[in-house]
Amino acid sequence: MPTPYERVASPADLPAPGRPPLTRPVAGRWVGGVCAGIAEHLDVSLRRVHLLFVVLAILGPGIPIYLFLWAVTPSSDTGGERRDPGALRAVTGLGESRWGMFVAAGGLLVLVGAVVGLQLAGVDVRAGVLLPLLLIAVGVTVAWSHLDDAERTKWLGTQQQDRGMLWLRLGLGTVVAVIGILVLTIRGGSLAEMGDALLATLAVLMGAALIAAPWVVRLWRDYREEQEVAARANERADIAAHLHDSVLQTLALIQRRSHDPASVTQLARAQERELRSWLYAGPAGSDETLASAVTAAAHDVEDHSGIVIDLVVTGDRPLEEHGTALARALREAMLNATRHGRPPVTAYVEIGPTGVEAYVRDRGEGFELDDIPEDRLGVRASILGRMERHGGTARVRRREDGTEVELTLPPLEGDD
């Protein structure tokens, strides 16, 4: 049933029909996957895109355009195949990025070679400008690849050793880019001038950092706050959805059945139990213990009979065959108490090193074991017989005020 709080997938989450989002596919990428992504996005052949980029690169703007697209387009492994992060990273992620690095390094060498070659051949391609520009491009690429990976690790779960790698890459990229800028600015100058320029650059950078710092800090804090608010809103929506599906439904039912006190009590009790278990959920895997088995049995009887059973359990042990038998016999005893006795029905189970003792008590007229006809299997077979088969005992005592059934089990073997 949809609730007003349920999150509906926003249009942005849905792939636009007919046009896949612009991403850089992991499979089949040569360098950064930009061309493949564009081909997929615009539904044109990959070869054409490659051709276009080669032409553009020769004309000039190709490489900056490529780098720009590469930096701003998310890799598709962050969106599509989040499911199996380990495998993805191991098989494709690393392999592809290494392959890409080879291609990039090769391309770079060819470019440098071409520039130097042309310059030496006498054609003026202004190597003094081009080479530093290339250097800057490499630095920026190395630094920006950090962003790409940072995003990836965010999805795959942060890995500590990768973190160091990322910072190293960022630092290295910055250094290379700064050297490129220096070389560009002091073309042909002396070493002393270079020192001065370096100082000036550093001063400018530090000044900029100082001016920008408060703003960056506030931006970061705002971002964190926004994230927290979103998380809280999510949690609220979860709680609201749960309450809507459980408590509100039950309250509506109670209003409609207000003329029937028995079913109102039953509904209220069942809802109380459900809410409690949701609020105070026990540790994981707790449903395989004797305590939880007898608790489940008591809840079951409550649901059947509509009579509240006050169950107290102390201690616990793993659930095995004998424990299961005890839980079943206890269930039968509680059913008897709700049928033949009067409330309040109380049950107490003590699980200790000397064995298990369980008591079910009601306030009714009670019954004598000898009064029970032979053909009534309830007490004889499901309580007495069952306990004896499992090495335990069962006793029915009629008290002044009601009846008490007592069940015992010996301790588990291996226990003291």
Q: Quick one: tokens of 286?
A: 């707790």
According to the binding rule CB under 8 A, does residue 296 interact with another protein? Answer: no
Q: Of 106 and 352, which has the nearer Cβ to another protein?
A: 352
Tell the residue number behind the tokens 């051949």, with chain if given.
121
Q: Of 242 and 299, which has the nearer Cβ to another protein?
A: 299
Pick from 81, 148, 274, 350 the residue near another protein by CB under 8 A. Answer: 350
Instruction: Label residue 202 exposed, middle or buried (CB < 10 Å: 0-12, 13-18, 19+).
Output: exposed
Q: Of 53 and 359, which has the nearer Cβ to another protein?
A: 359
Q: Mutual orientation of helices 62-72 and 34-42 as an angle, nearest 10°?
A: 80
Q: Of 48 and 276, which has the nearer Cβ to another protein?
A: 276
The Cα 275–Cα 148 span in angstroms is 44
Q: Of 180 and 402, which has the nearer Cβ to another protein?
A: 402
Which of 314, 302, 332 is closest to 396 using CA atoms?
332
Question: In the stretch 300-339, what mask flags binding to another protein with x, by CB under 8 A?
Answer: --------x-x-xxxx------------------------
CB of 409 to another protein, least distance (A): 15
Q: Of 3 and 286, which has the nearer Cβ to another protein?
A: 286
Q: Mutual orientation of helices 127-156 and 94-120 as an angle, nearest 10°?
A: 180
Distances in Å between the Cα of 357 and the Cα atoms of 146, 235, 362, 383 are 64, 42, 17, 14
Q: Of 40 and 404, which has the nearer Cβ to another protein?
A: 404
According to the binding rule CB under 8 A, does residue 156 interact with another protein? Answer: no
Q: Of 234 and 354, which has the nearer Cβ to another protein?
A: 354
CB of 281 to another protein, least distance (A): 10
CB of 403 to another protein, least distance (A): 12
According to the binding rule CB under 8 A, does residue 359 interact with another protein? Answer: yes
The Cα 344–Cα 265 span in angstroms is 14
Q: Of 313 and 329, which has the nearer Cβ to another protein?
A: 313
CB of 351 to another protein, least distance (A): 7
According to the binding rule CB under 8 A, does residue 398 interact with another protein? Answer: no
> For residue 22, which amino acid is it?
L
Residue 148, Cβ neighbours under 10 Å: how many?
17
Interacting stretch for another protein, rule CB under 8 A, among 5-13, 129-137, 165-173, 393-401?
Answer: 393-401
Bridge-based pairing of strands 345-352 and 309-314 is parallel
Distances in Å between the Cα of 43 and the Cα atoms of 22, 29, 37, 156 are 11, 16, 10, 29
CB of 343 to another protein, least distance (A): 9
Distances in Å between the Cα of 200 and the Cα atoms of 98, 212, 213 are 37, 18, 20
Question: In the stretch 210-239, what mask flags binding to another protein with x, by CB under 8 A?
Answer: ------------------------------
Residues 6+ apart with CB under 8 A from 215: none
CB of 279 to another protein, least distance (A): 9
**Are the C-beta atoms of residues 92 and 26 closer than 8 Å to each other?**
yes
Q: Quick one: tokens of 313?
A: 């359990």
CB of 321 to another protein, least distance (A): 23
The Cα 193–Cα 206 span in angstroms is 20
Radius of gyration (C-alpha) of the chain in whole angstroms: 37
Q: Quick one: tokens of 60?
A: 């000039």
Site size with another protein, rule: CB under 8 A: 25
Q: Which positions from 35 through 64 interact with another protein, judged by CB under 8 A?
A: none
Question: In the stretch 262-291, what mask flags binding to another protein with x, by CB under 8 A?
Answer: --------------x---x-x---------
What residues make contact with another protein under the rule CB under 8 A?
276, 280, 282, 295, 308, 310, 312-315, 344, 346-348, 350-354, 359, 361, 399-401, 404
